[in-house]
Amino acid sequence: MNLQLDRITVVAGGRKILDGVSTTVEKGDFCALIGPTGCGKTTLLRIMDLLAKPSSGRVLLDGEECTRSRGRKRTALRRRMSMVMQRPFMLAGTVERNVGFGLSVRGIRPTAGRIAGALESVGLSGMGKRNARTLSGGEMQKVAIARAVVTEPELLLLDEPLTSVDQGFKPELRSLIGRLHREMGITVVMATHDLADALVLSSKTVVMSEGRVMQDGDTPEVFNNPSGLFVASFIGMKNIFQAEFREEEARVGDISITITGRRSGAGYIHIPQEAITLSPRRPESSQRNAFEGEITEVLPTPLHDEVHVKTGGVVLQSSVTRESVSNLGLTPGARVWASFKATSVKVLSRPSPD
């Protein structure tokens, strides 16, 4: 199913919950809606599911406007979709009853074979007779997903499905969602504030803040080339600095950083951690930015060490392998040179005005 949102706005209590949201999710895509809590993700999912109506704007499914569909038409459209909520609701009774409920409300007689197939697809084979309310949080979410996919939806909507499960269970559930998307070939929209969900699962990412779309595009593009300060900060980028631009230089604190292209005025720059090379002596390379400084911290992370270098009142953070940290003697108090190419410096736009 192809989904298009056109300038969706929701006003409640004198406040804009959604402010002109537009995006298109192509048939078969996996779209991640990411943003901080309260940015409007759940409201947007409810509008996609035709559970709520916007104050203005249009929802189009396969090119047909259905924003304010009613009666049988709305029912028929909603039967082509399924939604999984953040905290799964379990009916009293067995797992089988809960999975079959998704079929029953659509007027489809649940069969043992169909329910068993759905349970097998989520890794719960043989658990159909269990009391659903005695399951773990992760198992309940699997039941909720089985209840959604047993209907063979064309559009699957997921509202923070990993938030309520234990941390150790998240990778398994994330892998399950990705596998079901690939095997079923359905269109998926998942709201999440966990960046790992978007990076691992989605082909398209929509970043939201305060009811507005801040960036919309292919997931690698969003994470590698954030459109502005908010997106860069939200996805966890380090080395974001306010700068004064003077031609091909960006003045940050007491240092002048060479950039590509001519600019003037104020703005922000981002220097990727992995682009910064550390060495005990001034590098003899073509890198146009080289600054001597003092290491203030060396912080271990799961994949590398993060080395902080203070130079001219500015702290640069570099990602360095543990082997290099040891070989180069990178310890707090040591003097080093931090260098990076002008082409690695990304200029960020300011947040969009209200």
Which of 197, 225, 253 is the last residue in one of the domains?
A: 225
Burial 140-165 (b: 16+ CB within 10 A, else e): bbbbbbbbbbbbebbbbbbbbbbbeb
The total domain count for the chain is 2
Domain membership of residue 234 (yes or no) is no
Domain membership of residue 235 (yes or no) is no
Mean pLDDT over 60-72 rounds to: 93
Q: Is 34 exposed, middle or buried (0-12, 13-18, 19+ CB in 10 A)?
A: buried
Which of 194, 225, 256 is the last residue in one of the domains?
A: 225
Q: The CATH number of the domain where 205 resides is what?
A: 3.40.50.300
Domain membership of residue 247 (yes or no) is yes
Looking at the fold, whether 160 and 265 belong to one and the same domain comes out as no
pLDDT the model gives residue 351: 41
Instruction: For residue range 2-44, list pLDDT tens digits in order.
Output: 999 999 999 999 899 999 999 999 999 999 999 999 999 999 9
* 196 C-beta neighbours (distance < 10 Å), count: 12
* 29 C-beta neighbours (distance < 10 Å), count: 17
pLDDT the model gives residue 348: 84
Looking at the fold, whether 25 and 50 belong to one and the same domain comes out as yes
Looking at the fold, whether 122 and 190 belong to one and the same domain comes out as yes
Mean pLDDT over 212-228 rounds to: 92
pLDDT the model gives residue 211: 96
Domain span holding position 247: 240-348
Q: What is the residue-wise DSSP string for 27-39?
A: TT-EEEEE--TTS
Q: The CATH number of the domain where 299 resides is what?
A: 2.40.50.100
Domain membership of residue 197 (yes or no) is yes
Domain membership of residue 354 (yes or no) is no
Looking at the fold, whether 42 and 163 belong to one and the same domain comes out as yes
What does the mean pLDDT of the chain come to?
92
Identity of residue 62? D
- In the chain the beta strands, taken as DSSP E runs, fall at 3-12, 15-25, 30-34, 56-61, 64-65, 81-84, 155-159, 187-192, 204-209, 212-218, 240-252, 255-270, 277-279, 289-300, 305-311, 314-320, 335-340, 346-348
pLDDT the model gives residue 349: 66
Looking at the fold, whether 21 and 122 belong to one and the same domain comes out as yes
pLDDT the model gives residue 353: 34
- Confidence band (pLDDT; 50, 70, 90) for 225? confident
- Confidence band (pLDDT; 50, 70, 90) for 227? confident
Looking at the fold, whether 100 and 155 belong to one and the same domain comes out as yes
pLDDT over threshold 80, residue 315: yes
Q: Which residues pair with 292 in a beta bridge?
A: 337
Domain membership of residue 188 (yes or no) is yes
Domain membership of residue 289 (yes or no) is yes
Looking at the fold, whether 207 and 291 belong to one and the same domain comes out as no
Looking at the fold, whether 208 and 174 belong to one and the same domain comes out as yes
Looking at the fold, whether 149 and 53 belong to one and the same domain comes out as yes
Q: What is the residue-wise DSSP string for 46-71?
A: HHHTTSS--SEEEEEETTEE-TT--H
Instruction: For residue range 235-262, list pLDDT tens digits in order.
Output: 988 999 999 999 999 999 999 999 998 8
Q: Flag the least confident range among 120-129, 210-219, 277-286, 318-327.
A: 277-286
Instruction: For residue range 266-313, list pLDDT tens digits in order.
Output: 889 999 999 999 999 988 876 689 999 999 999 998 889 999 999 989
Domain membership of residue 180 (yes or no) is yes
Q: Are 340 and 334 in contact (CB under 8 A)?
A: no
Looking at the fold, whether 145 and 284 belong to one and the same domain comes out as no
Which of 161, 191, 225 is the last residue in one of the domains?
A: 225
Question: What pTM did the predictor assign?
Answer: 0.84
pLDDT over threshold 70, residue 354: no
Mean pLDDT over 196-209 rounds to: 94
Instruction: For residue range 204-214, list pLDDT tens digits in order.
Output: 999 999 999 99
